[in-house]
Each structure stands twice: as structure tokens, then as C-alpha cells.
Amino acid sequence: MRVILHVDMDAFFASVEQRDHPEYRGKPVIVGADPKGGRGRGVVSTCSYEARTFGVHSAMPISKAYKLCPQGIYVPPNGRLYSQVSKEIFEIFYEFTDLVEPLSIDEAFLDVTGSQKLFGNGPEIAGKIKKRILEKEHLTASVGVAPNKYLAKIASDLEKPDGLVVVSADKVEEFLQSLDISRLWGAGQRTQQTLRKLGIHTIGDLAAYPRDVLKQKFGKMGDHFYRLAHGIDDRAVHSAEGVKSVSNEHTFGSDEADESILLQTLLRLSEKVGYRLRKKGLQGKTVHLKLRYENFSTITRNKTLDHYTDSTEMLYSTVRLLFRKNYQKGRKIRLLGVGISSFGRQENQQLTLFRAADEQRSELDRLQDILKERFGKNITARAEALAVNQKNKKKK
């Protein structure tokens, strides 16, 4: 039986601001766009629990937040700081297990099955992690402890902030019984409506349905719902371990020799690779370029950096260098690929200026990743990559 933890920081950005500005504590703090007295554009990143009592929440237009809570303290996000804190929190996770799967800047799954001999059982480890985060970062986290990811993720959310909810293996159905079906992973608004029409409002209601009936009604998803309703989820915690390289390729619809389009494609591929790296919590050192001409002759070139990186900019500037050195101008290209390997972590390396700049760019990447996750994959494509999209669309 696995022991899985889901750890999620409480009101993450806002809590960091309250920690660093004692005068903000106990007050409604709203991190996000400038409200400009109610006429501001942009959205709320997050807000303190005090602000949530006014109805303010993440992704709400900042103008609406201002209406609900004009007396709030409005703070612009400090991405660099939050990323640093995030890194330190993940270091705490790694003190307890290598099996850490980052989900976002402030949450992760941890498989602590093998850590129990050293650190105690699941709930004890959860308590220790919370304590370490409080001592080291002066912040609170909420933790769910359960036999699988699905249950752990629900559990961490139930007693926020500063929660610790344990789902023991023999109490799974009891735990799920009264939970609303909105907690059913994979059930969108429409599915929820359909379920409610059938009189299914809680996960317990759903669990009362036989597997066959759910299969009939929902096809493949029916089986999935059946499993979740009974708290069954076999997904493993995917740590960064074992991954040797990350790469993406693009094959052109028609062979391409326009250098600006080729470069823009490399940028878009770098963005994809960078995004995947950061999602997996990986940093690599060797950047790869793959280039296939129209006659299928293929070259691969790589360059090893003097430091590990997960930055889109760093990937792109390196791959661009490789491209400029190796591309025979004017020849038509069929396929381009960008990749990175030699994963590791920066430990005792001196912080060179170069690297400092790279880190700063990483903050931007991380914020863009959050946006991407919230608002769809295409929202923050850099301008150049956007241009290529437009151009391709026109072509069609």
C-alpha cells in the first residue's frame, strides 16, 4: 500500500507578502494587477484568507476585487521572490523522499512509502514537513495523506489553511461519501450537470451505481468515475528521476527556407521544451538541435553549457547559436527539433552574473507557466512565436 502526500501552500503569494510585511498580517491582502482605484485591468493572482471572506479569489478581475474589498492591501506580484521560496520548500520535500512530483509553484505529490522507516508513518511525515516549512520559511502548508494521489489531493484541500487531513485505507468510502461531485477529477461542468440530473450529487451517490450502468451512461469515462467513486487510483508519483532528455520536434507542412520562420519555430520549440522541463522540475546542461533538410539528410548538434538551466531564453539562445553555425543558408528544411539532456541541479556552483541573469529569466518563465496552466497553452507565447503562428495561418 502506497503512502502519498499532497502538499499545497496556503494563499502562497499573499502569505509570503504577509510574512515579509508584518503590517499586512491579519488584513485582506490581494496580490495581482494594480486596481487603479477600481479602473485597473488584469486579474487577482491570489489573496489572503482575510480577503477571501469578501468573496475575492484567484483569476477574478482586479476591478471586481476592488469593488468587493476597497479597503484591501493591493500588492504587485514579486515572481522572483516566490520562485526562490518555492525552491526552498521543494528542498524540504526532498529531505523526506526523492519521489517528488511538482504540480505547480506551490504544490507537489510526494510518495513517502519508502521513507517511513526513517521518518515515521505518513501522518508523522506530513507533520514534520509542515513543521519544517513553518520553521524555515515561516509559512503554512496544507497536507493530505492517503493511499493514492486522488485522495491525497482532495484531502489537502479540505481543511485549508494549515490543514492536515489523513485518509486511512479502511476509511476511503466513508471519506468520499458526502463529498460533492465537483471534486470528481475529470468531471467538467457539463458532466456534473448530467450527474445531478440523475440525482447524483455526492461521490457517495455515484458509488452506489453499479459499474455497468456507469459504463453504459458515460462510456469510457464511466469506468473512470466508478474507480474514483470507490477511491481507486493507481497513478504513480512521477519524479524527475529516470528522465534522460526532453525534446520537441516540428515538421513543416511544406519545406521551409525562410530564416525568420525557422528561428521562430526554434523559439516555439524552446518554449515547449522549457515548459515541460519546469513542470518536471528538471534542469539540463546539454542543448540539442536537430535539423533535417528536404532530402532527409539530418544533422544533430549539441552544446554543453557551464550551468544547468530550465529557462526558455537560455534554451533558445543556445539553439539559435547552433542553428546559425550549422544551417546551410537557402536550403529547405523539413524538420526542426530542440532538446536538452544531462540533468542535474546547481549545488555549489558560483553564482556568476551570467547565471544570475538566467535565474531572473526563469522567474518570468515560471509566471508564464502559471498563466499557461490557468488560461490555456497559447496565452503567453512570446511575440516572435506568435508572429510565426500568424504567418502560418495566413498561408493556409
Catalytic residues: 107
CA distances to 82, 172, 230 from 223, rounded to whole Å, are: 40, 18, 11
Looking at the Cβ atoms of 42 and 120, the one nearer to ligand TTP is 42
Nearest approach, Cβ of residue 141 and ligand TTP (Å): 9
Cell output for 193:
450537470
Interface residues with ligand TTP (CB under 6 A) are: 8-13, 45-46, 58-59, 105-107, 160-161, 370, 374
Crossing angle (nearest 10°) for helices 79-96 and 122-137: 140
Residue 58 CA to residue 62 CA, distance in Å, equals 10
Nearest approach, Cβ of residue 74 and ligand TTP (Å): 14
Does 17 engage in binding with Mg ion (CB under 5 A)? no
Nearest approach, Cβ of residue 71 and ligand TTP (Å): 20
Cell output for 152:
491525497
Kindly tell me the burial class for residue 190, based on how many C-beta atoms sit within 10 Å of its own C-beta (0-12, 13-18, 19 or more).
Answer: exposed
Looking at the Cβ atoms of 104 and 360, the one nearer to ligand TTP is 104
Question: What is the DSSP pairing of strand 29-32 with strand 73-75?
Answer: parallel
Could you say which of ligand TTP, Mg ion, none residue 359 binds, taking C-beta under 5 to 8 angstroms by partner kind? none
- Is there a contact between 95 and 136 (Cβ–Cβ < 8 Å)? no
Could you say which of Mg ion, ligand TTP, none residue 156 binds, taking C-beta under 5 to 8 angstroms by partner kind? none
Looking at the Cβ atoms of 109 and 209, the one nearer to ligand TTP is 109
Could you say which of ligand TTP, Mg ion, none residue 341 binds, taking C-beta under 5 to 8 angstroms by partner kind? none
Of 3, 4, 5, 9, the residue at the interface with Mg ion (CB under 5 A) is: 9
Could you say which of Mg ion, ligand TTP, none residue 105 binds, taking C-beta under 5 to 8 angstroms by partner kind? ligand TTP
Looking at the Cβ atoms of 242 and 376, the one nearer to ligand TTP is 376
Nearest approach, Cβ of residue 168 and ligand TTP (Å): 24
Residue 39 CA to residue 55 CA, distance in Å, equals 19
Cell output for 351:
553564482
Looking at the Cβ atoms of 4 and 9, the one nearer to Mg ion is 9
Nearest approach, Cβ of residue 50 and Mg ion (Å): 16
Contacts (Cβ under 8 Å, ≥6 apart) of 190: none
Does 8 engage in binding with Mg ion (CB under 5 A)? yes
Cell output for 201:
450529487
Give me the phi and psi of 259, to 5 degrees please: -65, -35
Looking at the Cβ atoms of 65 and 333, the one nearer to ligand TTP is 65
Which range of residues in 65-73, 101-109, 170-178, 240-248 is near Mg ion by CB under 5 A?
101-109
Nearest approach, Cβ of residue 377 and ligand TTP (Å): 15
Of 50, 106, 358, 365, the residue at the interface with Mg ion (CB under 5 A) is: 106
What region does 376 belong to: left with phi over 0, alpha with psi -120 to 50, or beta?
A: left
Nearest approach, Cβ of residue 104 and ligand TTP (Å): 6
Looking at the Cβ atoms of 16 and 291, the one nearer to Mg ion is 16
Kind and range of the H or E element at 259? helix 259-280
Crossing angle (nearest 10°) for helices 353-375 and 312-326: 110
Could you say which of ligand TTP, Mg ion, none residue 141 binds, taking C-beta under 5 to 8 angstroms by partner kind? none
Task: State in Å, rounded, how far the first CA of the chain is from the last one.
Answer: 53
Could you say which of ligand TTP, Mg ion, none residue 45 binds, taking C-beta under 5 to 8 angstroms by partner kind? ligand TTP
Does 7 engage in binding with Mg ion (CB under 5 A)? no
Could you say which of Mg ion, ligand TTP, none residue 46 binds, taking C-beta under 5 to 8 angstroms by partner kind? ligand TTP
Eight-state DSSP code of residue 237? P
Kindly tell me the burial class for residue 160, based on how many C-beta atoms sit within 10 Å of its own C-beta (0-12, 13-18, 19 or more).
Answer: middle
Residue 139 CA to residue 132 CA, distance in Å, equals 10
Cell output for 72:
484591501
User: Which residues form the interface with Mg ion (CB under 5 A)?
Assistant: 8-9, 12, 106
